[in-house]
Amino acid sequence: MDLRIKKSTRALLDASFQVLLVNPRASLSEIAKLAGVGRATLYRHYSTREELIAAIAIESLDLIEQSLAPIIAAKQSGLKAVEAMVEKLLPLADRFHFLQTVWTIAELDRQVWAMYETQMNQIWLWIDEGQKKGEIHAELSAEWIVAVIDSMLYSASWMLNQSKMPEQHVKEQFLILLKHGITTE
C-alpha cells in the first residue's frame, strides 16, 4: 500500500481522535489543519464526517479486540478473565471515552455495530461463567456489570488525564472497587 496514504490517514485518525474527544463539534477543516493535511485529502479518504467517526470507532474497537485476544487464546474464564480484561483495557481508557461521546453517530455504522456486538457477547460470556462458578454475584445482571465497567473506564480516562493519577494506581483502585465495592463490610 502507498506510504503516502498510510501517512495521511494515520495523521487524520490521530488528529480526529484527539480533537473530537475534547470538542465533538470540531469542523473537518479544523481537523485537517491539525492533522497537517490538506482539506481535500481528508475528503478523499472520508467523504463525510460520519465516515471519519466510524473509522476511528472501528480502529478503537480493533484495538480492544486485539487486547482481548490473548485472554481468549489463554482460555481464561469467569472472574479471572474479567480481571485480565480490565488490566488490558485500562491503557485504552481514552478509546472508551471516545466511543461513548460519539456513540449515537458511530452505532449507525454496520461494521461498528457488528464489532461491538461480538465483543459484548464475549464479555457477557465471561461474566456468565463467573456467575455460574459462584465467583460473581448472580443477582447482578451481566448487562449492568458491562455498563459499569464501560463507564468506569471512562472514569479511569478522566483520572489518568485530569488528575494525573499513575496508571498502576488507577488499576489497583479500579480492581478493588470492581471486586469488593467501597465498603469494608
CB atoms within 10 A of CB 124: 15
How long, in residues, is the chain? Answer: 185
Site for a second copy in 2-21 (CB under 8 A): none
Site for a second copy in 73-92 (CB under 8 A): 79, 82
Handedness of CA 137, 141, 142, 143 (dihedral sign): negative
Of residues 6, 24, 62, 69, which one binds a second copy by CB under 8 A?
24
159 near a second copy, judged by CB under 8 A: yes
Q: How far is the CB of 140 from a second copy (least distance, A)?
A: 6
Interior CA angle at 127 toward 126 and 131, to 5°?
120
Tell me how far apart the alpha carbons of residues 117 and 162 are, in angstroms, rounded to a whole number. 31
- The separation between the first and the last C-alpha atoms of the chain, rounded to the nearest angstrom, is 58
Of residues 5, 69, 74, 176, which one binds a second copy by CB under 8 A?
176
Q: What is the binding site for a second copy (CB under 8 A)?
A: 22-25, 79, 82, 100-101, 104, 130, 134-137, 139-141, 143-145, 147-148, 150-152, 154-155, 158-159, 163, 165, 170, 172-173, 176-185
